[in-house]
Amino acid sequence: MDILTKIENSTLTITFNRPEKKNAITAAMYQTMADALRAAETDDNVRVVLFNGADTVFTAGNDLEDFMKNAAQLSTDGETSSIIQFMLALSSSPKPIIAAVAGLAVGIGTTMLMHCDLVYLADNAKLSMPFSQLGLCAEFSSSILLPRVAGYHRAAEKLLLGEPFGAHEAYEMGMANKVVPIAELNDYAHQQAAKLVALPAASLRATKRLMKSSQVGVVNEVMQDELKQFGKMLNGPEAKEAFMAFFQKRKPDFSQFS
């Protein structure tokens, strides 16, 4: 199974488990995660959700080959695209969500962290949002959430250049709660989950709702705007050049585009 799900000690753990492809996410994987998150909303046995991956890679982001096959399904209504179903399920989850990130976290592997409540990074974590390098644009409301967290100029550097950055820089930018040694990451994240499990579930849900209530509307609006722009750019010449270069294992040439 490319996505593992386990409920233990009132915590739903969702694990990226496709190591041979650096945990790159397919449409089927998005659907599995979306279904698990939706089911957790009404499951009294689940009080906390925890995402993790492998020691060397959280997720390399979208599986580009699978993504291109399913790109025609990309829509803003959340009905056909498993990616959008996952985005909506994660961003609207009423229960506390923890992310334990080691190694590479590329694209949505980074932007999804902005919708989690607690983020713990291993000291080997390397985050990146290389959308511009693929002829695309920011997604998952990162164009508004990252500037709010890190400030405009640092957000612009990460989203415009798309270059990777390490765990300590992400922490300094306000994107994570703590950086821990890789050997301690999963134990620490589960310890934090256990603390949340021991607290009144209704209080946690109410507090999370109140903290997010002022931004729900604008975050959803920006997400829809990003998706419309993303869909247009996905069929544009720059993206086609970027994807072709990726599959041909060469550097893309964007000089021909204005």
**What is residue 78's predicted lDDT score, i.e. its pLDDT?**
47
**What is residue 219's predicted lDDT score, i.e. its pLDDT?**
95
Closest CA relative to residue 161, chosen from 183, 129, 205: 129
**What is residue 74's predicted lDDT score, i.e. its pLDDT?**
60
**What is residue 85's predicted lDDT score, i.e. its pLDDT?**
95
Question: Cβ distance 102 to 59 under 8 Å?
Answer: no
- The CATH-assigned architecture of domain 3-182 is Alpha-Beta Complex (3.90)
135 sits in the region (left: phi over 0; alpha: psi -120 to 50; else beta) called left
Grouped pLDDT means (10 residues each) for the chain, 258 residues: 98 98 97 98 98 98 87 57 95 98 98 98 98 96 98 98 98 98 98 98 98 94 95 92 92 91
